[in-house]
A and B are shown apart, each in its own frame.
Chain A
Amino acid sequence: MKNPILALIPSGYKNGKVYSVLPVDGDGDFDFFRFGDATRVKENGLIETIVGSNNPRLNWSGDCPSLLMEGASTNLQIRSEQFDDAAWTKTRTTVTANEDVSPEGTETADKLECNSSSVLGMRVRGSASITSGSTIVLSVFAKKGNATYCNLALFNDATTDYSSIFFDLGKGTSFTPQTTGSEITLIDNSIESFTNGWYRISITCETSGNTTVRPYIYGTTSNGNFTVTQGDYNYFWGAQLEEGNYLSSYIKTEGNITTRALERRISTTLNGQTQFNKNQGVAFIDVKPFPVDASDVNGNIISLVGGTYNRILFRFRTSNVLEFYVNNAPAPAIVDYDLAHNGGRIKAAIRWNNGNYSVFANGQLLNSYLNTSRFFTDLETFQFQQSTSLYEFEGEVYEIQVFDEALDNNEILKLTEL
């Protein structure tokens, strides 16, 4: 199989640039833009703050790094690492600050210990202002102490309606989800393992009629209820409450709510090279897209474009739909194919070859099209957006390749195998 003309396997970067593997002369390096700091997971599993604007993040969520691209998000819960602060109301709970090594490798994790036995539980409670009707993701890093379980809950302002779920910090599982009332509805939860016994636990809730919500973090020794005994304890660090429909990378707060800015304008034009082959080629992506909000009708896009109308799009839409879209004019699309996928990592490709088009995903040929009357006039830019600052891709990028010849079916099927 011929080498691609452009290959991005995230492995190196400098300020404002993500290096491509091919071409080797740097002409295919991607521009990168973000204001301010953001966090990533390092190869050793610890969380690290990437300091300074325009520094890309190589994130280790598995065996190899990915280029992490996220939308803007604001941690609406202040004092995210300071449960001893007055921002957190304690009930039957004594907080000992900086008692354990945190997921970032510093001794900043707090011990939350029960100071009075009760069937009503030990807890800390925060508070945050939200946009009425927004979807909220609440998360915190938790580690087992002598107590095995904890519970994460989101209450409405009046504390009458709530959603909650228990987590087993020994097994890394969640159980007994509960929603009471109609204003806070549980729609998802997750528990993700980190180093040194830490888990990042989260709940995603739809809200209605509230501009204030109250995150609750409970420790408990019992399986499925809130019963605690004096002396029970767990460790916690890094609480985050954000609007949006996916759990984003950790954003530290102190006395202010804090925004991590959007990553955008990530593109390459093969500077100094000829354009991508407009007559035949293959665009291949290996990515894990983040969920797209139902209100975002245009989705998040990876594209190969040129001129005014030429575009080959991988458009990630709401409800885990990947739309393959090819067009070269203000007219009905040449290719428009929707694939419902499972929301996880996906390998997909689009092939164009003198009027023949095919779309592939996860080792399967999905569909083919013939249109010999319309051809691209230019294909000059590969980018993680549709146009400049429009519908930026949000997710993890493992690999990108663009070929300047039409590979055969077997080559693309092998390339897109998961």
Chain B
Amino acid sequence: MTIGKYEFNDKEQVKEKIEGLGVDYDFEGNQYPTHNHTIVELGNIVLQKGEYEIKDGEMQMIKEPVLSDKYHVDVIWYDIESHPYGWKTYSCDLDSEGMHKFSGISYLENKI
């Protein structure tokens, strides 16, 4: 088991990459994954929080939050030790757990 963190261009690209990990179809024609990986789509994450204050009983934003223009994805990889084809280009190498983690599993200790 390894964990990878990725920044893709957009949600559509992520959909293509996930389908590239392996899919099959059931007897009714429904697509399903054939892999054991666990994928969490975080989307355009907040890089810097907005700032707010209450004036006259009303909440007012004094600084807008800064959102990433990348589409972020965290993955627990099952039984692979290196990035699948087409994923490495979009990988991140953090020196912290990042803004998201999997319960009971450290990214730093299981980094791909």
Contact = CB atoms under 8 A, between A and B. Distances in A.
Contact of B102 (A258, A330, A389): A258
Contacts of B33: 389
A74 interface: yes
A115 interface: no
Given A158-B59, A330-B27, A74 B36 contact: no
A257 interface: yes
Contact of A35 (B32, B46, B76): B76
Contact of B27 (A252, A262, A309): A309
Interface string A182-207: 00000000000000000000000000
B13 interface: no
- Main DSSP-derived SS at the A contact region: loop
A211 to B, nearest CB: 8
A169 B35 CA distance: 46
B103 interface: yes
Nearest to A298: B30
Given A33-B36, A35-B76, A53-B1, A261 B26 contact: no
A340 to B, nearest CB: 23
Contacts of B30: 298, 390
A33 B65 CA distance: 38
B25 to A, nearest CB: 9
Contacts of A59: none
A389 B38 contact: no
Contact of B103 (A212, A261, A308): A261
A387 B32 contact: yes
Contacts of A24: none
Contacts of B34: 388-389
Contacts of B61: 158
A131 interface: yes
Interface residues of A, number: 40
Nearest to A265: B36
B98 A256 contact: yes
Given A35-B76, A37-B103, A256-B97, A72 B38 contact: yes
Contact of B99 (A256, A262, A311): A256
A52 B101 CA distance: 15
B40 interface: yes
Nearest to A132: B43
A257 B100 contact: yes
A389 B36 contact: yes
Contacts of A52: 104
Contact of A390 (B26, B45, B100, B103): B26
A259 B105 CA distance: 10
A36 B104 CA distance: 5
Contacts of B74: 259
A274 interface: no
B44 to A, nearest CB: 8
B100 A261 contact: no
Contacts of A129: 43, 45-46
5 contacts: A36-B105, A53-B104, A72-B40, A129-B45, A261-B38
Given A35-B76, A35-B105, 19 more contacts: A35-B1, A37-B104, A51-B104, A72-B40, A158-B59, A159-B58, A159-B59, A212-B50, A252-B103, A256-B97, A256-B99, A258-B100, A261-B76, A261-B103, A265-B36, A330-B27, A388-B34, A390-B32, A391-B32
Top-7 shortest CB links A-B? A37-B104, A390-B32, A159-B59, A36-B104, A256-B101, A37-B103, A36-B105
